[in-house]
Amino acid sequence: MFFDARAVPTDNVLETDLCIVGCGAAGITLARELSRSTVRVVVLESGGLAFESPTNDLNKGAITGLPYFPLETARLRYFGGSTNHWGGLCRPEEPGDFEARAWIPESGWPIGRGDLNPYYPRAAAIVGVPVDDWDLDRWRARSPFPTLPLPADRITTVVAQVVESRERSFAPRYRAALDAAPNVAIHLHANVVDIETDESGRHVRRVHAATLEGNRFTVAAHVFVLATGGIENARLLLASDHVRPNGVGNDHGLVGRYFMEHPRFIAGLILPTDRRLPIGFYEPHHAGGTTLLGYLSLSQEAAVTEELTDVQVRLAPIYDPAVQAALDSPDVDKLRELADWLSGHDPVDDVGEDLSEVVGDLLSWRSAMIVGGPIPVPLPEVVDEVIRRARAGDLEGVIPLMLGDVATAGYRQLTGALPVTAIALSTRIEQVPNPDSRVTLGSERDALGMRRAELHWALADLDRRSVIRTLELLGAELGRTGLGRLRIDLEEESDTWPDDLAGGWHHMGTTRMSDDPAHGVVDRNCQVHGIDNLYVAGSSVFTTAGSGTPTMTIVALALRLAEHLKGALA
Amino acid sequence: MNARPAGVSRRRFLEGAAAFTVAAGLGGLRLATLGASSSTDPVERLASLLTHRSSAAAFGREVLRERPAEASAAVLLAALRSTVPDLDRLVRAGSDDDLRAAIDAASRRDFAVGGDAILRVRGWVVATTEARLCALAAVA
């Protein structure tokens, strides 16, 4: 059930079995799991059911290291959390991601991929992945496009899936079920500002919540779980410094350290020997009932031999300007929306308007041509395919293939081989754990009196070397196979990073997992070392950043934690 | 689904286009299908394989910036002999296609061997054999 915390009288004490702080992917998963039990659950959510600027401004903080997104845009504080603006890219971690690698400091999770195997299939369903299959060979068979003919013992292709945009937010998907759960009370607009422990600092008595309207209350529970994201989890622990001056769970000074991202930037370029090098597999495309996307990376064997961290390379075609202009055409976007609409989901807004704007074009599809483009006109392949699909009643397949600019997109969809000027290499790094990359508390305070977070994002030499060496090896294989030549744009002897360096909006490592309290904030069960009733959920517990994308693993870990808590609270 | 992902800016695109100025030397090597030469001068014979010779020479000058010790035809020829089997005979009596095939095979071997057989020229990962051929065009 949902409640508005603004109506809770000041100084009230809510008593419960389990208190979950935060209602994003991890918090919602935990609450859902516990909703099928007899455990009484109170969930404290900072925001309401929709975005509100004053609440989200509580995320504001300073950036002191490498340039990073403004913190108030990097996470969302309302029901559903950051799933409300999630990009939907999914891939589980590989077994090797959990293992200790001697050349990567502080690598090695206390759990292995096998510990998460029972939870990943459900996690895939929860996040909305259509097909829980990550086997390259099977996806090769399903995709209309080939992978590049590179030697698998050196360069491999990994696959990710993109969850449909309307499926990404947990809020609409799980709100009704949580609202109907009699043992789950979700208090909206409740901002936790302090974690109160007993005098020993080894047991949490209660958390203090405040609303922007001014009322304050506490929640006393047997067990508490922080699920507020990689920056806020650390901020809350650090700010709760009444008993221990370093904050809660921070006896070894690790809270907030080892902040990791998946840094990404354009690190180079491929000049293909054949400008029609088929790279359709490496762009988002429909295959086997999902949206698939391939990346190039070193094989695990090569990464181990070279002692590198994982670097994934996305191939981003750079087209002739005339072709690019066609692909960027608003008409193409409109028809994509139409295709989505026709796929049987809820109508998108303004779809009727879009339809009226393109209907004239639809009637004249036989005149399909690309003005100034390098493609022969008319496009016999496109026309033939349109006829074939139309006869088969495949409207969804027909519409993106229709005409003009749209034919360009259609041609690419059919062949995956529009002639390219070059191929940009968009790299994504498994950032090396780095104690100097950290979240601390600044001196400025937010509207509730809490010290704001300060993020000092820092990368290590191994991050740079991994990108360069990965591209060198890829360049060598492209040359050896005659597919093209590769340029690396990252300098070895440099302290600077490319201007377009950005993260993947992934906040990891600030309450890292280790069985040794000297090396981690939480143990293998996500329990804060030295505190008998405090747990952390979310990617802040990641020991290393991994080669996957975090959301599925966040949910798998939350499912595992829920099972543990059911036992602990029984 | 954007064809050009966030991060591939106009500036990046132009840099990519500009890369062709440098890479045109390699393009000349790959695309050469014309220009058979009857010259028996090994330097001239090899340089004539490059259809876009001025581009190849420009790239070759970049190669020599990296390897100034190789800035002579004699040194480059000796180095090419070490990676292209039977080079002298092919220069004397082989067809242009034979020579191209031999140089292409040697370049691919360089890539397979890795290490010192590969070099980076203004960021481009190239085989030493093809780099030396371009350098030869620069000093010819």
Q: Is pLDDT at A259 greater than 80 in this prediction?
A: yes
Check CB contact of A314 with chain B, cutoff 8 Å.
yes
Name the band, by pLDDT with cuts 50, 70 and 90, for residue A238: very high
Tell me how close the Cα of A258 comes to any Cα of chain B, in angstroms. 26
- Exposed e or buried b per residue across A19-58, where buried means at least 16 C-beta atoms within 10 angstroms of its C-beta: bbbbbbbbbbbbbbbbbebebbbbbbbbbbbeeeeebbeb
CA atoms within 13 Å, Cβ hemisphere of A519: 15
Residues 6+ apart with CB under 8 A from B118: A472, A475, A476, A479, B110, B111, B125, B126, B127, B128
The chain A residue lying nearest B118, using CA atoms, is A476
Mean pLDDT of A515-528: 98
For residue A214, tell me if it sits in a domain. yes
Q: Is pLDDT at A25 greater than 70 in this prediction?
A: yes
ipTM for the predicted complex:
0.82
A155 and A278 co-located in one domain: yes
In terms of pTM, does the model score above 0.90?
no
Check CB contact of B116 with chain A, cutoff 8 Å.
no
A177-229 confidence digits (pLDDT tens): 999 999 999 999 999 999 999 999 999 999 999 999 999 999 999 999 999 99
State residue A382's pLDDT score: 53
State residue A384's pLDDT score: 59
Check CB contact of B115 with chain A, cutoff 8 Å.
no
Determine the Cα–Cα distance for residues B52 and B59; give it in Å rounded to an integer: 11
Determine the Cα–Cα distance for residues A401 and A318; give it in Å rounded to an integer: 21
Check CB contact of A417 with chain B, cutoff 8 Å.
no
For residue A133, tell me if it sits in a domain. no
Check CB contact of A449 with chain B, cutoff 8 Å.
no
Mean pLDDT of A549-563: 97
For residue A501, tell me if it sits in a domain. no
State residue A275's pLDDT score: 81
A442 and A481 co-located in one domain: no
Determine the Cα–Cα distance for residues A285 and A162; give it in Å rounded to an integer: 9
Sign, CA torsion A80/A86/A92/A96: negative
Q: Is pLDDT at A378 greater than 90 in this prediction?
A: no
Q: Which of B3, B26, B107 faces A319 most closely, judged by CB atoms?
A: B3
A304 and A329 co-located in one domain: no
For residue A96, tell me if it sits in a domain. yes
A228 and A329 co-located in one domain: no
How many structural domains comprise chain A? 3
Inter-chain residue contact A318 with B8, CB threshold 8 Å: yes
Question: Which of A312, A335, A487, A499 best tests the B interface by mutation, with the highest count of B CBs <10 A?
Answer: A487
State residue B41's pLDDT score: 87
A304 and A155 co-located in one domain: yes
A34 and A92 co-located in one domain: yes
DSSP helix, strand, coil percent of chain A (3-state; round to 5) = 35, 20, 45
A286 and A299 co-located in one domain: yes
DSSP-assigned states of every residue in A351-364: HHHHHHHHHHHHHT
Q: Report helix, strand or coil for B88.
A: helix
Which residues of A fall within a CB distance of 8 Å from B108? Answer: 479-482
For residue A178, tell me if it sits in a domain. yes
Distance from the Cα of residue A450 to its chain's centroid: 27
Q: Is pLDDT at A362 greater than 90 in this prediction?
A: no
Domain range for residue A477? 138-162+268-315+423-430+460-496
A9 and A23 co-located in one domain: yes
Mean pLDDT of B21-50: 60
Which residues of B fall within a CB distance of 8 Å from A480? Answer: 108, 111-112
Which residues of A fall within a CB distance of 8 Å from B104? Answer: 482
Check CB contact of B33 with chain A, cutoff 8 Å.
no
Cα A273–Cα A276–Cα A280 angle in degrees, nearest 5: 120
Which residues of A fall within a CB distance of 8 Å from B119? Answer: none
State residue A326's pLDDT score: 61
Contact (Cβ atoms closer than 8 angstroms) between residue B124 and residue B22: yes
A55 and A204 co-located in one domain: yes
Determine the Cα–Cα distance for residues A24 and A39; give it in Å rounded to an integer: 20
Inter-chain residue contact A266 with B125, CB threshold 8 Å: no
Inter-chain residue contact B1 with A336, CB threshold 8 Å: yes
Check CB contact of A351 with chain B, cutoff 8 Å.
no
Check CB contact of B111 with chain A, cutoff 8 Å.
yes
A194 and A338 co-located in one domain: no
Inter-chain residue contact A476 with B126, CB threshold 8 Å: no
A154 and A9 co-located in one domain: no
How much of chain A, in percent, has pLDDT values that exceed 90? 76
Which residues of B fall within a CB distance of 8 Å from A336? Answer: 1
- Phi (first) and psi of residue A74, to 5 degrees: -80, -20
A115-138 confidence digits (pLDDT tens): 999 999 999 999 999 999 999 999
Tell me how close the Cα of A412 comes to any Cα of chain B, in angstroms. 10
Check CB contact of A366 with chain B, cutoff 8 Å.
no
Sign, CA torsion A3/A9/A14/A20: positive
- Residue count of chain A, please give it: 570
Task: Classify residue B104 by its DSSP letter.
Answer: H
Query: The tokens of A154 are what?
Result: 């050196």
Which residues of B fall within a CB distance of 8 Å from A284? Answer: 1
State residue A422's pLDDT score: 87
Name the band, by pLDDT with cuts 50, 70 and 90, for residue B55: confident
For residue A325, tell me if it sits in a domain. yes
Check CB contact of B106 with chain A, cutoff 8 Å.
no
Residues 6+ apart with CB under 8 A from A208: A192, A193, A194, A195, A196, A216, A217, A218
Tell me how close the Cα of A266 comes to any Cα of chain B, in angstroms. 7
Inter-chain residue contact B124 with A486, CB threshold 8 Å: yes
Name the band, by pLDDT with cuts 50, 70 and 90, for residue A330: low
Last residue of a domain, one of A471, A496, A521: A496
A268-327 confidence digits (pLDDT tens): 999 998 888 889 899 888 899 999 999 999 999 999 999 999 999 999 988 766 666 666
Q: Is pLDDT at A450 greater than 50 in this prediction?
A: yes
Check CB contact of B126 with chain A, cutoff 8 Å.
yes
Check CB contact of B4 with chain A, cutoff 8 Å.
yes
A338-356 confidence digits (pLDDT tens): 555 444 444 333 433 443 3
Inter-chain residue contact A426 with B23, CB threshold 8 Å: no
B83-135 confidence digits (pLDDT tens): 999 999 999 999 999 999 999 999 999 999 999 999 999 999 999 999 999 99
Sign, CA torsion A529/A45/A452/A556: positive
Determine the Cα–Cα distance for residues A421 and B7; give it in Å rounded to an integer: 17
Question: Which of B2, B125, B133, B134 best tests the A interface by mutation, with the highest count of A CBs <10 A?
Answer: B125
Distance from the Cα of residue A202 to its chain's centroid: 33
Determine the Cα–Cα distance for residues A44 and A21; give it in Å rounded to an integer: 5
Name the band, by pLDDT with cuts 50, 70 and 90, for residue A406: low
Q: Is pLDDT at B24 greater than 90 in this prediction?
A: no
Name the band, by pLDDT with cuts 50, 70 and 90, for residue B140: confident
State residue A509's pLDDT score: 98
The size of the A-B interface in CB pairs under 8 A is 103
Mean per-residue pLDDT over chain A, rounded: 87
Higher confidence at residue B2 or residue A247?
A247
Cα B135–Cα A468–Cα A69 angle in degrees, nearest 5: 130
Inter-chain residue contact B3 with A336, CB threshold 8 Å: no
Mean pLDDT of A445-458: 98
Check CB contact of B14 with chain A, cutoff 8 Å.
no
- Exposed e or buried b per residue across A485-497, where buried means at least 16 C-beta atoms within 10 angstroms of its C-beta: bbbbbbeeeeeeb
Q: Is pLDDT at A513 greater than 60 in this prediction?
A: yes
Check CB contact of B34 with chain A, cutoff 8 Å.
no
Tell me how close the Cα of A494 comes to any Cα of chain B, in angstroms. 14
Cα B96–Cα B98–Cα B101 angle in degrees, nearest 5: 105
Check CB contact of A502 with chain B, cutoff 8 Å.
yes
A83 and A209 co-located in one domain: yes
Residue of A257, A237, A240, A192 lying closest to A439 (CA atoms): A257
Q: Report helix, strand or coil for A50.
A: coil
Q: Is pLDDT at B22 greater than 80 in this prediction?
A: no
Check CB contact of A286 with chain B, cutoff 8 Å.
no
Determine the Cα–Cα distance for residues A369 and B56; give it in Å rounded to an integer: 37
Q: Is pLDDT at B29 greater than 90 in this prediction?
A: no
Inter-chain residue contact B118 with A265, CB threshold 8 Å: no
State residue A21's pLDDT score: 98
Tell me how close the Cα of A281 comes to any Cα of chain B, in angstroms. 13
Q: Is pLDDT at A359 greater than 80 in this prediction?
A: no
Determine the Cα–Cα distance for residues A519 and A533; give it in Å rounded to an integer: 20
- Phi (first) and psi of residue A93, to 5 degrees: -75, 155
Count the Cβ atoms, other than its own, within 10 Å of residue A542. 27
Residue A328's identity, in one-letter code, is D
Name the band, by pLDDT with cuts 50, 70 and 90, for residue A335: low
HEC per residue, A416-439: CCCCEEEEEEEEEECCCCCCCCEE
Determine the Cα–Cα distance for residues A466 and A311; give it in Å rounded to an integer: 7
Q: Is pLDDT at A55 greater than 60 in this prediction?
A: yes
The chain A residue lying nearest B124, using CA atoms, is A487
Check CB contact of B23 with chain A, cutoff 8 Å.
yes
**Which chain A residues in 207-266 lie under 8 Å from chain B, judged by CB atoms?**
264-266
- Cis? peptide before A330, omega within 30° of 0: no
